[in-house]
Amino acid sequence: MPEISRDEVARLADLARIDLDDAELDHLAPQLDVILESVASIQGVAGDDVPPTSHPIPLTNVFRDDVVRPGLTPEQALAGAPEVEEQRFSVPRILGDEQ
Amino acid sequence: MTETLVPFEQVLESYDPAMGLEVHVELSTATKMFCGCPTEFGAEPNTQVCPTCLGLPGAMPVVNGKAVEAAIRIGLALNCEIAEWCRFARKNYFYPDMPKNFQTSQYDEPIAFEGYLDVEVDGETYRVEIERAHMEEDTGKATHVGGSTGRIHGATHSLIDYNRAGIPLIEIVTKPILGTGAKAPEVAKAYVATLRELVKGLGVSDVRMDQGSMRCDVNLSLAPKGSGALGTRTETKNVNSLRSVERAVRHEMSRHAGILSAGGSILQETRHFHENTGTTSSGRPKSDAEDYRYFPEPDLVPVAPSREWVEELRGTLPEPPSVRRTRLQAEWGFSDLEMRDTVGAGALELVEETIAAGAAPQAARKWWLSELARRANDTGVDIADLGVTPQQVAEVQALVDARTINDKLARQVFEGLYAGEGTPAEIVEKRGLAVVSDEGALSAAVDQAIEANPDIAEKIRGGKVQAAGALIGQIMKEMRGQADAGRVRELILEKLS
Amino acid sequence: MITRSAAELADALAAGETTSVELTRAHLDRIGAVDGTAEEGVHAFLHVDAEGALATAAESDARRAAGEPLHRLDGVPIAVKDVLTTQGMPTTCASRILEGWVPPYDATVVARIRAAGLPILGKTNMDEFAMGSSTEHSAYGPTRNPWSLDRIPGGSGGGSAAAVAAFEAPLAVGTDTGGSIRQPGAVTGTVGVKPTYGSVSRYGLVAMANSLDQAGPVTRTVLDAALLHELIGGHDPLDSTSVDAPATGFVAAAEQGATGDLAGLKVGVITELAGEGWQPGVMSRFQESVDLLAKLGAEVVEVSCPSFVHAMAAYYLVMPAEASSNLAKFDAMRYGLRVVPEGTPSAEEVMKATRDAGFGDEVKRRIIIGTYALSSGYYDAYYGQAQKVRTLISRDFAAAYDQVDVLVSPTSPSTAFPLGEKLDDPLAMYLQDLATIPANLAGVPGISVPAGLAADDGLPVGFQILAPALADDRLYRVGAALEGALTAQWGGPLLGLDKLDARIEGGK
């Protein structure tokens, strides 16, 4: 019983905005299945009483003052942009065909 | 698809409404939530950005302490519990106005939770329960190009300005608001108005719905009357004024009822409110209940406000709205009804500022609740968005007090204000509205009227003082209203005594 | 000149024996001679900045002439892993999706290096977005192990380690998320350090796994690593996870360790990091080094860390989860590659096509695993569980450090394997990080020190030392002591020009 099906991989790729073609799906799905099977061993290892670690160091309350700090010029900000118009980042139409 | 709308009154016969209001407040801190970029409104595009708010590879966030302080104060003002320990979380989804394609927000650990806000509608108090208030960051702003109306539909491409990306937002979410019945629309409006008043009093935001520093999403569902259940809800966005809040609730109630009573079911979706028609339309379909894959933000450490700090902040809270209103009512000498009407019209602050600018309380109330409220209603905007300032209203009243103009002429001055013709004094000048104060001219006009109306003059001589009214009317008409009616009456009686 | 350590070069500069320009030129020449191309040669560098490096070198010389050097290492050339942002110099993370991207800002680590006057020779190769253990996942071609060009140099920081091993640079900065500094160090016979989490700024370090990543030194000697660590470490207000602890005492600890006296030190050998699957040649070199430590006065015991057997699973859930979110920003909208499919595609279609074209297979695998681990319905069982296992691993470390001062293990289960051998077997590749991963999960520091050549294949073996959080100085003390003793045994440093692959100029 595979941990993850080809369809599931396709769905996840969609969620992650990666356009995988059939060949890639055929190639990746079994590899992912093997990996997930091995990490599935994690289940049941830690009891309910074990708290999760999201940060390895016990820091809290790191704040900065509400003071302006120099940033980037628009030229710097837009320097790597694939397309620029009116000093803004030009992006393709946001709505898809079905919308 | 034509929709049937059940008339509002009928809706309540069969259904109980449940509402949920989500309000986003944009903080007026000097810098953004996670970086030191300025937050000023109206700057040239992409001039207030840095690696962090632009989401450049390698950049990292650092929390603005002032924003945390504001969040705690808002929470305290809403009678919330303040978390002893909480974290930021990533809300993952893709959209071009999102520099990182995740929003740094808070998920199951909001900084404030379990509070309430009492709102008054027609003398009755409703306790709106607050589920949570949490910190998050705003997105960039997209301008859509190529479509017919500048809207997203039909656009060929969009232009993104990230100046707004990263500005601190506090999201305040109510628990389901139940038991409001027919008052649902007003309760929703009163909640947003009261919340606005409260946040404004804290000095942490401009809370201008017309500028986007306060945004409201309205959730509504209907359940069969008395069932105690919760129906399927819809969320309505683009609700940009207090009026719209009320209208959106009203419309959605009618629309839901129309679908349900025809045997249909409500589609859980996000809808868009249209100001011009007061209706809603289906918005961007929520991409199959997007899985946001929340997890604690690993680049930030937990926020654990000490109880000492929380108490210190509690000490900085201004008086709650209800206490403030009681105090003002006493100061102004308003009756309960007068106070209620003022609050209900959304004019409390405006009246307060008008009084502060020198007008008498009753005069301030009079102008805001009659002339200006009427104008707001006619033009379909909130009274606060008319473009007339309390300062100007006080000036108008001052002109009346100085007898430079009278009440009737004042209305023309307001017309001038709506048209943006200048200050009240300038408008009086330009339009030639000043009351004639030349005694000679007045006297002559009175003499003329007396001569033209011998019978009325006889009656007055005979002691029937009320008859003077007809003469006054004629004279005022002659003088195009530019006379002090009181002085005219005096002159008539003098001459005919 | 190029075979000297950074400390020796610093001394030479101070003594006026050479200039920074001379040094920098010598290294640039070496790079030109041996680095080759994606197809052949060491290929440690993705970008070489001769002009910039020489300009910085000239400034360094001017300062020194005026008697005002900025730092002990002022003028000593250095290479930087291409995962750290460098203003004005491309930063690609070895990915096509960032091909040609020039950052408008420096990483804090880079800023500190510049502020100390070190000429930056260029950016070194790595596995794409630091995902890998062999540098074969670079979109620009692999780096080859200078000891044998048919073999991997380790990963993800194979470029930095190879550059240092091939004498193309005396110093390099790498980053370590699951062993990416230490494992390349082990298989190239160089020194690699992963500092305590939070002790070196991550601002400008293109994140793979935020709760695991750390930048650290890649060098040929322990003293050099200590010098570089002190330079780049320390609190950074731009990094919220940065610890407020000064980066000091490492050089002193290294010098102290070099005296060879480890009396009073308790050393724990991790039981779980040995046994089946560990190359015999690696294990015997490891054991010899352990025995050496005992000879130097240390008390050696065995320590069990039972939850370490779950470290791999926890790592390969936490890391892809964080990475899947971190890499979402590469969407063709603001910078980097933009692939526009035919017709008038939507933004979403452009995003999908770009990410498919711009990311390599390993990156795609990890993004998908990460997306899965975080998705609703699976979060508790996978990501949530993994975070709990981290707690167990931290507890094991804490319990161990109650008994001992440092823990030791071989750095990697095997020596450098041939290029291509594990490419089709992701799991086999992941197993290279068995020994290094626990430290990242717990945030504790670790060092890999050359322990000799494996008898079975004559390739370098690494010895790993782990210390408690913020006790990085212990790494330098023990590392220097072992290095000293081993060097004495070998009659000279392990690494030498004549030890390298014959196809490299000056090699055997």
Residue B284 pLDDT greater than 80, yes or no: no
Q: Which residue has the tokens 């490492």?
A: C250
Inter-residue contact B345 to B371 (CB < 8 Å)? no
B173 pLDDT more than 90: yes
C194: three-class secondary structure by DSSP: strand
User: What ipTM did this prediction achieve?
Assistant: 0.95
Strand partners, C503: none
Q: State the Cα–Cα distance between residues B334 and B353, nearest whole angstrom.
A: 16
Q: Exactly one of C81, C123, C194, C422 is catalytic; which is it?
A: C81
Burial class (CB in 10 A: 0-12, 13-18, 19+), C37: exposed
Tokens at C133, concatenated: 């253990």
> Residue C281: which residues within 8 A CB-CB, separation 6 or more?
C415, C454, C455, C456, C457, C461
* CB burial readout C362-382, b (16+ within 10 A) else e: bbbbbbbbbbbbbbeebbeeb
B451 to each of B457, B466, B495, how far by Cα in Å?
Answer: 8, 18, 11
* pLDDT band with cut points at 50, 70 and 90 for residue B147: confident
Tokens of B42: 């109206």
| pLDDT number for residue A2 | 63
HSE, side-chain direction, 13 A CA sphere, residue C378: 22
B212 is written with which tokens? 């986007």
Look at residue C230 and give its three-state secondary structure. Answer: helix
Secondary element (H or E) of residue C59: helix C50-65
CA C397 to chain centre: 22
Greater confidence (B497 vs B39) lies with B39
Please give the Cα distance from C448 to C432 (Å, whole number). Answer: 14
User: Tokens representing A28?
Assistant: 């990746």
Is B285 near chain A, with CB under 8 Å? yes
C163 CB-near residues (< 8 Å, 6+ apart): C31, C42, C44, C45, C79, C121, C124, C169, C172
What tokens appear for B41 in the block?
A: 């409104």
What gap in Å lies between CA A32 and CA C506, rounded to an integer?
A: 44
Q: β-strand C191-194 against C120-124: which pairing, if any?
A: unpaired
Has residue A1 got a pLDDT over 60?
no
Long-range pairs, B445-450, Cβ under 8 A, ≥24: B445/B475, B445/B478, B445/B479, B445/B483, B445/B488, B446/B471, B446/B475, B446/B488, B446/B491, B446/B492, B446/B495, B447/B495, B448/B478, B449/B474, B449/B475, B449/B478, B449/B492, B450/B492, B450/B495, B450/B496
Which class for B263: exposed (0-12), middle (13-18), buried (19 or more C-beta within 10 A)? exposed
Residue with tokens 């980037």: A72
Spans of chain C, pLDDT less than 50: none
pLDDT band at B448 (very low <50, low <70, confident <90, very high): confident
Euclidean distance between CA atoms C48 and C42, whole angstroms:
14
Q: Specify whether C81 is catalytic.
A: yes
**Residue of C133, C180, C199, C289 marked active site:** C180
With an 8 Å Cβ cutoff, is B58 touching chain C? Answer: yes
pLDDT, residue B481, reads 83
Based on the residue annotation, tell me whether C60 is a catalytic residue of this protein.
Answer: no
Smallest CA-to-CA distance from B467 within B448, B449, B444 is with: B449
Nearest 5°: phi and psi at C465? -120, 135
In Å, how far is A2's CA from the nearest CA of chain C?
A: 14
Residues C184, C154 contacting (CB under 8 angstroms) = yes
| Contact (CB<8Å) A13/C368 | yes
CA distance B236 to C237: 41
pLDDT computed for residue B483 by the predictor: 83
Instruction: Give the pLDDT confidence score for residue B484 in this predicted structure.
Output: 81
Beta strands in C334-489 (DSSP E): 406-410, 446-453, 460-466
Q: Match 């839901």 to its residue by tokens.
A: B256
For strand B141-145 and strand A84-85, is the pairing parallel, antiparallel, or unpaired?
unpaired
**Interface size, chain A vs chain C, as Cβ–Cβ contacts under 8 Å:** 181
Q: At residue C283, what are phi and psi to the nearest 5 degrees?
A: -65, -40
| Chain C contact set for B156 (CB, 8 A) | 344
pLDDT of residue C432: 87
With cut-offs at 50, 70 and 90, classify the pLDDT of residue A15. very high
Task: Kindly state the helix (H) or strand (E) to which residue B141 belongs, with its residue range.
Answer: strand B141-145
Say how far apart CA B279 and CA B274 lie, in whole Å.
Answer: 6
Is C5 in contact with C224 (CB distance < 8 Å)? yes
CA distance B190 to B196: 10
Neighbours of B84 (CB within 10 A): 11
Q: Over chain A, what HEC string results?
A: CCCCCHHHHHHHHHHCCCCCCHHHHHHHHHHHHHHHHHHHHHCCCCCCCCCCCCCCCCCCCCEECCCCCCCECHHHHHCCCCCEECCEEEEECCCCCCC
* Structure-block tokens of residue B339: 């106070």
Check A66 against B31: CB less than 8 A apart. yes
- Reading the block at residue B374, the tokens are 């009427």
B286 pLDDT above the threshold of 60: no
For A:51-80, CB contacts with C below 8 A are 51-57, 59, 62, 64, 72, 76-77, 79-80
- How far apart, in whole angstroms, are the C-alpha atoms of residue C336 and residue C93? 12
Chain A residue with minimum CA distance to B291: A15
Banded pLDDT at B285 (limits 50, 70, 90): low
Helix ranges (H only) for B357-497 are 361-367, 373-379, 390-401, 407-418, 424-431, 439-452, 454-461, 468-478, 485-495
Among A26, A35, A48, pick the best mutation site for testing chain C contact (most C Cβ within 10 A). A35
Which of B63, B68, B101 to mutate to test binding with chain C, by most C CBs within 10 Å of its CB? Answer: B101
Query: Is C156 a residue of the active site?
Result: yes
The answer to whether residue A18 neighbours chain B at the CB level (below 8 Å) is no
- Does pLDDT of B354 surpass 60? yes
**Tokens 């500028």 -> residue:** B211
Instruction: Tell me, yes or no, if C319 comes closer than 8 A to chain A by beta carbon.
Output: no
Backbone torsion region of residue B49, taken as left when φ is above 0, otherwise alpha when ψ lies between -120 and 50, otherwise beta: beta
For the stretch B105-141, pLDDT in tens is 999 999 999 999 999 998 899 999 999 999 999 999 9
- C-alpha–C-alpha distance, residues C206 and C188, integer Å: 25
What number is the average pLDDT over the span B66-79?
98
* Residues C459, C416 contacting (CB under 8 angstroms): yes
pLDDT at site A76 = 97
pLDDT of B288 reads 47
- Report long-range pairs for B353-357 (Cβ below 8 Å, ≥24 apart): B353/B389, B353/B390, B353/B391, B354/B390, B354/B391, B354/B393, B354/B394, B354/B397, B355/B394, B356/B390, B357/B390, B357/B391, B357/B393, B357/B394, B357/B395
Q: Which chains touch C (3 or more CB pairs under 8 A)?
A: A, B
Q: If DSSP codes are grouped into helix, strand and coil, which group holds residue C431?
A: helix
Residue-level pLDDT at B289? 57
Answer whether C368 touches A (CB < 8 Å): yes
Taking CB atoms and an 8 Å limit, are C333 and A12 in contact across chains?
Answer: no
CB contact under 8 A, A46 and C333: no
**C394 close contact with A: CB closer than 8 A:** yes
H/E element, B284: none
C213 exposed, middle or buried (CB, 10 Å; 0-12, 13-18, 19+)? buried
Predicted pLDDT at A99: 56
Q: How confident is the model at residue B439 (pLDDT cuts 50, 70, 90)?
A: confident
* pLDDT tens, position by position, B177-214: 999 999 999 999 999 999 999 999 999 999 999 889 99
| B160 contacts in chain C (CB < 8 Å) | 333
**Predicted pLDDT of residue C368:** 96
Helix, strand, coil content of chain B in percent (nearest 5):
40, 20, 40
Tell me the pLDDT tens digit for each residue of B224-240. Answer: 999 988 999 999 999 99
Please name which of C373, C440, C336 lies closest in space to residue C100, comparing C-alpha atoms.
Answer: C336
